[in-house]
Amino acid sequence: MEGAWEIAFVLFQVWLSIVVGLIVLPAMFGVSLGFTDIYIKVLVKTLEVKAFLLCLVSFQIHNVLSGIIEKDDDFTMCDAFYFCKKGIENIVEDQVTQRFTSEELASWNLLTRTNNNFRYISVRLTIIWGLGVFIRYCILLPLRITLAVIGLSWLVIGTTLVGLLPSSNAKNWLSDLVHITCYRICARGLSATIRYHNKENRPKKGGICVANHTSPIDIVILANDGCYAMVGQVHGGLMGVIQRSMVRSCPHVWFERSEMKDRHAVAKRLKDHIADKTKLPILIFPEGTCINNTSVMMFKKGSFEIGGTIYPVAIKYDPQFGDAFWNSAKNNMVSYLLRMMTSWAIVCNMWYLPPMTRQDGEDAVQFANRVKSAIAHQGGLVDLSWDGGLKREKVKESFKEEQQKMYSSMIVGLDCHEASEGPV
Amino acid sequence: MGSTSSTLLKIPNVEVLMQETGFSPAHIIRLHDRFKALDKEGRGHLCPQDFGAIKELAMNPIGDRIIGAFFSPGKETVDFHTFVKILILAHFRPVDKNRPKEPNSPEPINSRSNKLKFAFQLYDQDQDGKISRDELLKVLQAMLGMQVTEEQLESIADRTIQEADLDRDDAISFEEFRKSLEKVNIDHKMSIRFLR
């Protein structure tokens, strides 16, 4: 028995040193040994072969939304059909909910979570799938968990140590170093391959960085290439520990739940932060919630009222390797992280867009929409005007009125409108 | 693993359902998932409030009428079978022109005639077989809201009845309804499809 424990311990040490030597250290220095690249290439080849096998069996649901009514300025009985059709489509699948479920993949990447309708197709495919499961759960998962633990402990310990230093340039430099190295380790822990574009537009101090939101991993992705001041709610538990230690080394903006309700207090704190040019740029996700990375929903105007320069960033994940979307209604954080660590890889592209400021005569909402369009356009995402908050709140009456307006303008025509503009 | 056969077995009488509707197992499962998602309390059937929770449907001017179409008079709940059948009646799948017409087989659920009956019901809320001027006005009111005046609504209603009402009883019967829509491509206007 004693012998077995000793052997296990030795193996563990060997394992740990391999991990540290080959992954953690290069990660901290931003050096890539090329393992991830090779891994990704192999993955791509395998999936291409398999996709060819499966293309006969895949299917999508396609909503035929013909918004075009053949109108000839007259109400006919079949006009109700248009609304009826829309209504039925919404019963089967409404647009808001659809944005919050994962992108349907035309091909399947051997993760059953992405294709609900996995069928038993052939022995060969099931064997490949089984092999995939083994690799993901028994080889990749322990490796990734080790890396994540190392990364987070390093963050907590490192920031606490740096926090003991008096304020100085050295402290800031060290704090940046600790943060970046930790995020790099975490990124390796997810087998994340990130391609950065337009690095010259990187956010500067005293600015606000704005990005579309797909999952909590966005933070890791963004922070791999720069240091940001995070904004968010104070949490308890492990998150709380991390938050408190982060704040020791450089200022972040953490709000109590009660403070969040007071918009002016929130705005004031953020304003104060960006007014101080020595503080890091703030990172904000204006959609307010996680979207499934096929579209960008309405940006809440709060972040755009503060002033300052906005640095938009577009993040687009490649769904072929792993779906990064976090459906907070469906998975809690732990099960979500488990999913991420048992996916093949996270591959994403990040575009830094040129800075934008609010122009004269533009109100916060218009500015927000302008930024949103820029991000959606760059990332190849659909620019939706749906409010991400609809996922949780009630619909406003004004939306119904808009539908009625649109319909009536087709029926009634211009001259009737002029008549109705009268004393009524 | 989510293999289809085990999920299918959980749905009662699924064989009959597939035969009547012509849906494939994958489609049935898709609809079943949606049914379960709407049935938040897991009772196995839906009530009007479950439909009301769909935001876009709440925004739809005739949303409550569409919801009403799922519940036959007197019934407060709809089970999965009825749910699927009404969906297919209302909107799914263009009429299958290639199916050979057997003289004694019952009309397919989503035939043109049945689709028209469904649409007729949207107008004829008191189910007396005729769309009265009042009922027509109510639909117009719902679809146009405050965007038009009373007079405009009345004139549209009058015009519509004038064009469609052939026996001059100031109401539109189902036959007159059907006739007025003879030239309309119902399939196009009233179908959404699962595409392969």
DSSP B135-192: HHHHHHHHHHGGGS-HHHHHHHHHHHHHHH-SS-SSEEEHHHHHHHTTTS-HHHHT-B
Q: What pLDDT does A341 receive?
A: 81
User: Does pTM surpass 0.90?
Assistant: no
Across the interface, of A59, A96, A119, the residue whose CB is closest to B4 is A119
Judge whether A115 lies within some domain: no
Listed by start position, the domains of chain B span 8-91, 109-195
Average pLDDT, rounded, for chain B: 76
Residue A69 placed within a domain: no
Residues of A in contact with B63 (CB under 8 A): 87
In a domain, A79, yes or no: no
| Distance in Å, alpha carbon of A348 to nearest chain B alpha carbon | 27
**CB-CB under 8 Å, A91 with B87:** yes
Inspect the interface and report whether the beta carbons of B66 and A401 lie closer than 8 Å: no
Question: According to the CATH classification, is domain B109-195 in 3.40.50.150?
Answer: no
Mutation for testing the B interface, residue in A70, A77, A86, A108 having most B CBs under 10 Å: A77
Tell me, yes or no, whether A180 lies in a domain.
yes
pLDDT attached to residue A69: 36
**What is the least distance, in Å, from the CA of B82 to any CA of chain A?**
14
Same fold, B8-91 and B109-195: yes
**How far apart (Å, rounded) are the C-alpha atoms in residues A294 and A317?**
9
**Structural domain harbouring A297:** 123-388
Best mutation target among B27, B46, B66, B131 (most A Cβ atoms within 10 Å) is: B66
Question: Do the chains contact at B66 and A88, CB–CB below 8 Å?
Answer: yes
Report chain B residues whose CB lies below 8 A from the CB of A81: 119, 186, 189-190
Of the candidates A74, A90, A407, the beta carbon closest to that of B144 is on A407
pLDDT in tens, A96-130: 444 444 444 334 555 555 444 444 555 666 777 78
Smallest CA–CA separation between B161 and chain A, in Å?
10
CA distance B55 to chain A (A): 6
Q: What CATH superfamily is the domain B8-91?
A: EF-hand (1.10.238.10)
CA B178 to chain centre: 16
Q: Specify the pLDDT at position A391.
A: 47
Indicate whether A13 belongs to any domain: no
H-only helix segments in A190-332: 217-223, 237-249, 257-261, 263-275
| pLDDT at res. A67 | 31
The pLDDT value given to residue A398 = 61
Interface test with A, best of B117, B159, B192, B195 (most A CBs within 10 A): B192
Total domains present in chain A:
1
Instruction: Decide if A67 is inside a domain.
Output: no
Q: Which of B62, B147, B195 sits opposite A80 (nearest CB)?
A: B62
Higher per-residue pLDDT: B16 or A77? B16
- Locate the DSSP E strands across A137-207: 192-197
For A126, nearest residue in chain B (alpha carbons): B1
Which residue in the block uniquely carries the two structure tokens 């490949």? Answer: A128
Give, in degrees to the nearest 5, the angle at Cα B27 between B23 and B30. Answer: 150
Query: Mutate which of A98, A115, A117 to test chain B, going by most B C-beta atoms within 10 A?
Result: A117
CA-based nearest residue to A56, from A125, A113, A111, A133: A125
Torsion, Cα A50 A52 A53 A58, to 10 degrees, reads 100
The distance of B95 to chain A (nearest Cα, Å) reads 16
**pLDDT value, residue A360:** 81
pLDDT at position B157 is 84
Query: Cβ contacts of residue A13 below 8 Å, gap of 6+?
Result: none
What pLDDT sits at residue A75? 64
Question: Do A346 and A192 touch, CB atoms closer than 8 A?
Answer: yes
Q: Identify which of B30, B51, B55 has the shortest CB distance to residue A61.
A: B30
A408 neighbourhood in chain B, CB within 8 Å: 143-145, 147-148
Burial track A261-280 (b if 16+ CB lie within 10 A, e otherwise): eeeeebeeebeebbeeeebb
For A306-343, b where at least 16 C-beta lie within 10 A, e where not — what string? bebbbbbbbbbbbbbbbbbbbeeeeeeeeebbebbbbb
Residue of B nearest to A115 (CA): B2
ipTM confidence score: 0.81
B116 alpha-carbon distance from chain centroid:
9
How many angstroms separate the CA atoms of B36 and B54, rounded? 13
The DSSP call for residue A63 is -
pLDDT digit string (tens) for chain A, length 424 residues: 677 888 888 887 777 777 777 777 776 666 666 666 677 777 777 666 555 544 433 322 222 222 333 344 466 676 777 778 777 877 877 554 444 444 443 345 555 554 444 445 556 667 777 887 888 888 888 888 888 888 888 888 888 888 888 878 888 888 888 888 888 888 877 878 888 888 888 888 888 898 888 888 888 888 888 888 888 777 777 778 888 888 888 888 888 877 777 777 778 888 888 888 788 888 888 877 666 666 666 677 777 888 788 899 998 887 777 677 777 666 777 788 888 888 877 888 889 999 888 888 888 888 888 888 888 888 777 666 655 555 444 455 566 666 677 666 666 553 343 344 434 3
Residues from chain B contacting residue A97 (CB–CB below 8 Å): 37
Q: How far apart are CA A27 and CA A181, in angstroms?
A: 7
Query: Chain A closest CA to B103's CA: distance in Å?
Result: 30
Question: B26, A59: Cβ pair inside 8 Å?
Answer: yes
Are the Cβ atoms of B61 and A91 closer than 8 angstroms? Answer: no
